[in-house]
Amino acid sequence: MRRLITVQDTFQVTGRGLVVVPGPLRDDVAGTGSLAVELRKPTGERVQARLALVHTHQSPPAPPEIAKRWTSILRGVVKADVPIGTEVWELDELESAKLLAEDRALFMRAWEESSGDGASNVRCDVCGSPIAFRKQGTVTFHSCDCGKFTGTLKGL
């Protein structure tokens, strides 16, 4: 587990989620997608969530040697849930598996219904979009609109 950021500001975007500022450094986190994270609030409370990495940006414009950051959106939380000073920690694989264990039945139902390729009628419990699957070679991509069920399965 490692600390990615300490929240300095947040912006609630209707239909998208809660944008957190600053985002993690581009070089610290690989690729777009979503991460299982733990929010450590200044009060000591800990909450697990998903952090979607949307695209990189450099703001304000600066020389190229200034590191770029990810535009990051927390899913399943609102502005009041993430006070300034909250630390966002990336969960390791074991902790991430614990976070996702409660969602395994929903994911498997979607997988079985779609036969592993195409959209299912099973909807994400956070955003309400269908959980979809798309095969490309030996990799199956799975996704929903908020990123909770976004990732890849290899060798299936």
Q: What is the pLDDT of residue 89?
A: 92
CA–CA dist 91, 22 (Å, integer): 19
> Are the C-beta atoms of residues 144 and 151 closer than 8 Å to each other?
no
Higher pLDDT, 60 or 42: 42
Q: Which domains does the chain have, with CATH numbers?
A: 2-99 (2.40.30.10), 102-154 (no CATH)
The H or E element that residue 3 is part of is: strand 2-6
CA–CA dist 118, 130 (Å, integer): 10
Residue 26 pLDDT > 90? no
Q: What is the pLDDT of residue 124?
A: 80
Could you tell me the pTM of the whole model?
0.61
> Are the C-beta atoms of residues 82 and 7 closer than 8 Å to each other?
yes
> Are the C-beta atoms of residues 142 and 131 closer than 8 Å to each other?
yes
How does residue 99 score in pLDDT terms, banded at 50, 70 and 90?
very low
Residue 88 pLDDT > 90? yes
- Which tokens in the block code for residue 124? 């994400």
CA–CA dist 31, 54 (Å, integer): 9
Write the DSSP symbol of residue 31: S
> Are the C-beta atoms of residues 56 and 26 closer than 8 Å to each other?
yes
* Average pLDDT of span 122-150: 78
CA–CA dist 60, 37 (Å, integer): 27
How does residue 120 score in pLDDT terms, banded at 50, 70 and 90?
confident
